[in-house]
Amino acid sequence: NAGVTQTPKFQVLKTGQSMTLQCAQDMNHNSMYWYRQDPGMGLRLIYYSASEGTTDKGEVPNGYNVSRLNKREFSLRLESAAPSQTSVYFCASRGSASGNTIYFGEGSWLTVV
């Protein structure tokens, strides 16, 4: 039982490049989330998916797109990366069995130069 798995763990992009962060959970959770964490800013919600087939914007959605590919997978795409998107990205999931507890992946460190 791996929990929440994110890839890649580290990535350096040039401004304007695109990339997709992958996230998968093996806990049969309905809800999945993407957060970004910046120094002194805590975690800010980018997008979330309450269930398979649905996605909603969070606090800071601009510059990102998401896909809830199936119940297990929730990907985050940067179409044209900008230096302001340099951050640590966390995927998370929640299921009815876990109540309101959210389980996090280990993070993806993204640098845009």
Partner 1 sequence: SQQGEEDPQALSIQEGENATMNCSYKTSINNLQWYRQNSGRGLVHLILIRSNEREKHSGRLRVTLDTSKKSSSLLITASRAADTASYFCATVGSSNTGKLIFGQGTTLQVKP
Q: Which C-beta is closer to partner 1: that of 18 or that of 37?
A: 37
> For residue 37, what are the CA distances in angstroms to 1, 19, 95?
26, 18, 23
Q: Is position 100 an interface residue for partner 1 (rule: CB under 8 A)?
A: yes
Binding segment (CB under 8 A) for partner 1, from list 12-20, 61-69, 79-87, 91-99: 91-99
Report the alpha-carbon distance of residue 23 to residue 76 in Å, rounded. 8
Contact flags string 31-70 toward partner 1, x per CB under 8 A = x-x-x----xxxxxx--x-x-------xx-----------
Rounded Cα gap, residues 29 and 52, in angstroms: 10
Q: Which of 104, 67, 60 is nearest to 82 (CA)?
A: 60
27 binds partner 1 (CB under 8 A): no
Q: Which two tokens stand for residue 50?
A: 């309450």
Q: Does 26 bind partner 1 (CB under 8 A)?
A: no
Largest CA distance in the chain: 41
Residues binding partner 1 (CB under 8 A)? 4, 31, 33, 35, 40-45, 48, 50, 58-59, 90, 92, 94, 99-107
